Chain A
Amino acid sequence: MRSAKLVIGMLVLFAMPALAEAPKPIPPDQFDNLFKMIKPQAGELRFQEIPWLMSVHEARKKAAEEGKPIAIWSGSGGAPLGVC
């Protein structure tokens, strides 16, 4: 019986993902503060205050309707709005 428990215990141990030092749970009363801290603060990522369109067609239509030029910013992958 003891050896069976030992085997089961070791199976459970090896089945779980390894943790170097078990990280502490996030206290629920800290959630709102941390959520706000991680997100962009005032003055950060100001680039995203611009109402970017992502469709060439929609941008052309809007530019033609409003009589404005288009500022087209290209990057790779998700850039310039997101990550590469």
Chain B
Amino acid sequence: MVRLVKAKFIPLAVDGRVINKYHDSEVDFLRDLKCVANGAHGEVWVITAGGKRLERGEMIPDSKTFQASLERGLKAWAALPQSDRKAGAVQVPERGAIDPKRAVAVAPPEGTLIVRVHNRQLGRNAAGECRHTVPDDYIPALRDPKLGVVATAGTTNLFSQPANDMMWITKAEALAMMPTSPRKGQTFKVPATLCERIFRFQLDPGRGLSEADSFPNATVNAGQLQLTVEEASGSEVRLRLDGFASLNNPRAYLQQSQNPTTKKFSQSQIPLEYQPRLLGYLAYDAAKKVLTRFDMIALGDVRGRPVDENLFGERVGEANLLGVAFELVTDPKPADYLSPKGLRDGGDNYNLPRYLGLKK
């Protein structure tokens, strides 16, 4: 399927919910064509640049059905007159202004650095070393279809893969991490707004498993992040980042009310806790004042099931490892401009001040 899409289509990924409240030429095109899902379920369509809807993708979790539906779309495309499909034949009008309420999701503020973030559940081998998870790491309800929670025994494969999110570092925060006269051994704090962003939005056991934020009230006081200059003699300055976080959410509301299936099969405590250590390496060009490296990991134990309302990703045992990797994107492609989860305040509202920590 991947090869087919790459070779035969122009692939476009969109947040379908934009059609619920925004208006500009792009959103109106989607709305008029009725080719997007405006809610939590996904949808795929084959469409034309000129605005024709050809075939709906059948999103069945077997590669053959979906591929066959895309191939039907290609047949429908081939049946169109040349005036609809010949290279250069269709004139696409100018885009015009983006709805200001969604502009920040289209492009971040000038000078923003983009960091790719991956959250992955991990296990430990007999020697105590980290490893990828295996099916037996997950509670029986997620492994055994006979218990009625999952349709297949392979469901745990979904939870063993990383979830990906993005994080933005503002121009001011980046500058604050690049001292003008660095000295080897010099230490200073990571900017408070960046700390809070990391603690509140990026160290989340539920990332990829739930729409909710696990620690929405976390502040800069939830941990400490410190930078140490490791090398300052050349044109490149290198820094090490050390820190920790202590994040918790008592989820008291679950004491009174839980989904019956979740209550029946969950084996975890109700309060959610994540207490990782963080280690990272940064580098910057001293002359150009450009950050060239921001690689960081968080690693620690999670207590409590990752999602409050269901069993997604729930592990066997009281404490289970979660690793989060952060990597600076030095040459962003279009897909790297995906807005961070934390920018979305309650679904499709884009709240930049909240995300950047400017609004208290």
**Neighbour of B325 across the interface among A17, A39, A41, A56, CB < 8 A:** A39
The size bracket of the interface on A is 35 or more
A69 & B297 in contact (Cβ 8 Å cutoff) = no
A contact set with B: CB distance below 8 Å: 17-20, 23-26, 28, 31, 34-35, 37-41, 44-84
Let me know if B60 is at the binding interface, CB within 8 A: no
A68 & B10 in contact (Cβ 8 Å cutoff) = yes
B2 & A46 in contact (Cβ 8 Å cutoff) = yes
Smallest beta-carbon distance A8→chain B, Å: 19
Contacts of A28 in B (CB 8 A): 240, 279
Contacts of B77 in A (CB 8 A): 69
Which stretch (B175-183, B282-290, B330-338) binds chain A? B330-338
Contacts of B13 in A (CB 8 A): 52-54, 72-75, 80-81
Q: Can you list 8 contacts pairing A with B, beta carbon distance less than 8 Å? A: A52-B334, A69-B10, A71-B11, A71-B45, A71-B46, A76-B41, A76-B42, A76-B348
Smallest beta-carbon distance A37→chain B, Å: 6
Which stretch (B142-150, B161-169, B252-260, B351-359) binds chain A? B161-169
Bound complex: CA of A74 vs CA of B303, how far in Å?
A: 33
Bound complex: CA of A53 vs CA of B242, how far in Å?
A: 36
Evaluate whether A38 and B44 lie within 8 angstroms (CB atoms) in the complex, with A31-B281, A61-B92, A71-B9 already known: no
Contacts of A41 in B (CB 8 A): 132
Instruction: Give the residue among B15, B40, B87 with the most A Cβ atoms within 10 A.
Output: B15
A56 & B2 in contact (Cβ 8 Å cutoff) = no
Contacts of A50 in B (CB 8 A): 2, 5-6, 11
Contact with A along B200-213 (1 / 0, CB 8 A): 00000001101100
Bound complex: CA of A80 vs CA of B120, how far in Å?
A: 18
Bound complex: CA of A41 vs CA of B323, how far in Å?
A: 14
Contacts of B191 in A (CB 8 A): none
**Neighbour of B211 across the interface among A35, A49, A54, A84, CB < 8 A:** A84
Contacts of A81 in B (CB 8 A): 13, 164, 335, 338
B338 & A63 in contact (Cβ 8 Å cutoff) = no
A67 & B70 in contact (Cβ 8 Å cutoff) = no
